[in-house]
A = this chain, B = another copy of it.
Amino acid sequence: MSLYFITGNKNKFEEVKAILGDVEQLDIDLPEIQDIDAKNIIRAKLLEALNYKEGKFIVEDTSLYLDCLKSLPGPLIKWFLKTIENNGLANMAEKLGNNRAEAKTIIGYAKNRDEIEFFEGSIFGKIVAQTGVSGFGWDPIFQPDGFDKTFAEMTTEEKNNVSMRKIALEKLKEFAAKEQNQL
């Protein structure tokens, strides 16, 4: 049975394929339920995908969790970016006096409706005033611990070395090996 990674993002797919090997991209738009627990959002998507076609599925969520907001926005990050944008997020962290943040990827893997597993990867760091011109989403305001620059200022290679997605993917790969099982 085929394994599908559900994403519209070609770069994310390439990152997953490089680590997992035998996986296909499936670019479908699944409804996102409202929740601050990314696992619930991912689970709902996986169950939709299992209804949609035969196969095994991977869904990922990469979000930013701010200490000053008790872990908001998390998976609601896109609405913050659409409204107050990176400058608003950085300003909030500064005004609230706490710039600590966690960049977290959660990967959900569904073999079937009853076997859904989650794998997490986190990078901790701080929110800084917007830097860099390029970069995806909140890359220009997140500076991982041990670095003096934001994700947006890093080369692709540098960024891949501090990838929360890679950590989560390696856990998924280990899981597959332990189960002595193809995903």
**Chain A interface (Cβ within 8 Å of chain B)?**
31-36, 41, 44, 69-72, 75-76, 79-80, 82-84, 88, 91-92, 95-96
- Contact between B92 and A70 (Cβ–Cβ < 8 Å)? no
- Most chain B CB within a 10 A radius of its CB, from A41, A70, A82: A70
Residues of chain B with a CB closer than 8 A to A70's CB: 83-84, 88
> How many Å from the CB of A9 to the closest CB on chain B?
18
Residues of chain B with a CB closer than 8 A to A41's CB: 34
Residues of chain B with a CB closer than 8 A to A69's CB: 83-84, 88
- Most chain B CB within a 10 A radius of its CB, from A31, A35, A71, A95: A95
Residues of chain B with a CB closer than 8 A to A71's CB: 83
When C-beta atoms are compared, the residue in chain B nearest to A88 turns out to be: B70
- Contact between A72 and B84 (Cβ–Cβ < 8 Å)? yes
Task: Report how far A92 CA is from B80 CA in the complex, Å.
Answer: 15
